[in-house]
Chains A and B, each alone.
Chain A
Amino acid sequence: MRAAGDLVARVQMARGMRIAEAKAYVAEKLSISVSELTDPVIMTEVRQDLQIGQIMPLPGCAKGIEAKFRQSEVLGLDINCVDRFRDRTAI
């Protein structure tokens, strides 16, 4: 979560992609290069801009399930708990 490992893991888990393919997928969705995925400085800014969860939760930023709604949208993936939250809250 200091960089983009959680996002790459999500793609592996959801789509069964091997590592190179999963990294390329995430990089394209975040509009950054593959080498920037593991840079904690760049990724902190990207995560802050996209509101997809960050190590230091600044006041007002998306946290927890809020951030996972954003992750689902940004990555174009269904996230199990996000779908269930949506159903249970009748959003």
Chain B
Amino acid sequence: MATILTRYGDGTPLTMSEKELMQDLEAGTQDAADRGNIPALSKEELAHLFDIFSLPYNFVSVEPGNEVVLTYDAGTLKIRRVGVNVDRIQALQIYEKIMGADTMELCHVDYSFKPIKPIVTMEQPILEQALLSTHVPLFYGAMPNLGTYTQPDGPFPNPSELMPMGDIEGARASYDATVEEAVKDIVYAARAMHASGADGINLDTVGAAGEADFKASLMAAAILKKEFPEICIEVGMAGEFILGMHGEMEWEGTRLAGLYPHEQVKLAEKAGVTIFGPVVNTNTSESSPWNLSRAITFMKACCDVATIPIHVNMGMGVGAVTVNDHPPVDVVSRASKAMVEICRLDGL
């Protein structure tokens, strides 16, 4: 019986027997099916995943003609994070011409809409100049990051302090107030960048602060879409389900806490979002086959019900990619291949 070389979710190398591989694939899809109340993968789909993990190659890919496009979050921020000392327009050109990126995103190192608002007039000329010298579609992006609206970083009482004191109503009122302010900031910055010629607006890491984060993003998207029907809005999520920090918050009659990707995308569509980026978190103590089978199950359910393009988040710690600053190509390429071939998604 062959030995399969793979990894744990943290990237640590792991060897498995064929029997163990299939057991993990079955357990991963069942976990997603139970949590999301969605169909588990079929025997044929599990067999396809088994074949992908059995390939002896380091890098694997899809058949010619099945390639998908890539969108990026925070590209101009990440090139500085790794210590490459170039300006942001140069970073965009590096991604476009040297890395062959399909799209790019201009962003500020303080990657949230709240701090962008007072400096947006400094951001606009950078985007305008970048648009003159680049060719690929350029997004402007930032995070809703509702955590920045509560004390000590913002004006509103901190719900995480109010909750332990038993002030549930006060905490909920604070969440409601942050939504109102965040929508204003997102719309203000997005309007400005759209006016400067951005090809799209990216709301990234949506839901990081719970359902208030998601609600603010949906509300902002709806306002922008109504004002600019032609605008492209991409929403990339922070986690696989909406954290219920408030518990009773709703948008358009739907309770937001606990929604999984196949439910999130329907609200995104309703808000006028153009491209949706769902997330499945990687479990570091489970194997890559377990994580990928689980992630594919969630993403397939999302792609099956979506009517808008789906760009699954595939990066460090999400989409079955390992939680490691240097994601190994064997896992990244297997996860990407499986996502494209089984989920029939539109991009990564």
**Cβ-defined contact, A38 with B347, below 8 A:** no
A16 to B310, CA, bound (A): 10
Find the residue from A12, A17, A22, A68 having the highest chain B CB count within 10 A. A12
Asked whether any CB of chain B lies closer than 8 Å to the CB of A49, the reply is no
**Cβ-defined contact, B274 with A13, below 8 A:** yes
**Cβ-defined contact, A5 with B69, below 8 A:** yes
Asked whether any CB of chain B lies closer than 8 Å to the CB of A32, the reply is no
Asked whether any CB of chain B lies closer than 8 Å to the CB of A46, the reply is no
Contacts A1-B100, A1-B101, A81-B199 hold; do A12 and B135 have CB atoms under 8 A apart?
no
- Chain A residues 1 to 54 lying within 8 A of chain B, measured CB to CB, are 1-2, 5-6, 8-10, 12-14, 16-19, 22, 34-35, 38-39, 52-53
Residues of B near A39 (CB, < 8 A) are: 64
Asked whether any CB of chain B lies closer than 8 Å to the CB of A74, the reply is no
Contacts A55-B97, A78-B230 hold; do A1 and B135 have CB atoms under 8 A apart?
yes
**Cβ-defined contact, B194 with A9, below 8 A:** no
Residues of A near B131 (CB, < 8 A) are: 65, 81
**Cβ-defined contact, B100 with A9, below 8 A:** no
**Cβ-defined contact, B132 with A65, below 8 A:** yes
Residues of B within 8 A of A (CB): 64-65, 67-71, 96-97, 100-103, 128, 131-138, 194, 196-200, 230, 232, 274-275, 308-309, 345-347
Q: Which of B71, B137, B196, B309 contacts A17 (CB 8 A)?
A: B309
CB distance from B66 to the nearest CB of A (A): 9
Interface string of A55-91 (1 = CB under 8 A from B): 1000000011101100100000011110011000000
**Cβ-defined contact, A18 with B132, below 8 A:** no
**Cβ-defined contact, A1 with B309, below 8 A:** no
Contacts A18-B309, A64-B133, A78-B230 hold; do A9 and B347 have CB atoms under 8 A apart?
yes
Contacts A6-B137, A13-B274 hold; do A35 and B200 have CB atoms under 8 A apart?
no
Q: Which of B137, B198, B230, B309 contacts A19 (CB 8 A)?
A: B309
Name the 9 nearest CB pairs between A and B, nearest first: A81-B197, A5-B102, A53-B135, A19-B346, A13-B232, A81-B131, A6-B136, A2-B100, A9-B69
**Cβ-defined contact, A14 with B230, below 8 A:** yes
A1 to B232, CA, bound (A): 20
**Cβ-defined contact, A9 with B102, below 8 A:** yes
**Cβ-defined contact, A12 with B347, below 8 A:** yes
Residues of A near B68 (CB, < 8 A) are: 19
Residues of A near B67 (CB, < 8 A) are: 5, 38
Q: Which of A5, A10, A22 contacts B199 (CB 8 A)?
A: A10
Nearest-neighbor residue (CB-CB) of A68 within chain B? B135
A82 to B336, CA, bound (A): 33
Residues of A near B346 (CB, < 8 A) are: 12, 18-19, 22
Contacts A6-B135, A9-B102 hold; do A38 and B232 have CB atoms under 8 A apart?
no
Contacts A80-B197, A80-B199 hold; do A12 and B65 have CB atoms under 8 A apart?
no
A12 to B309, CA, bound (A): 7
Find the residue from B128, B198, B346 having the highest chain A CB count within 10 A. B346
A86 to B32, CA, bound (A): 50
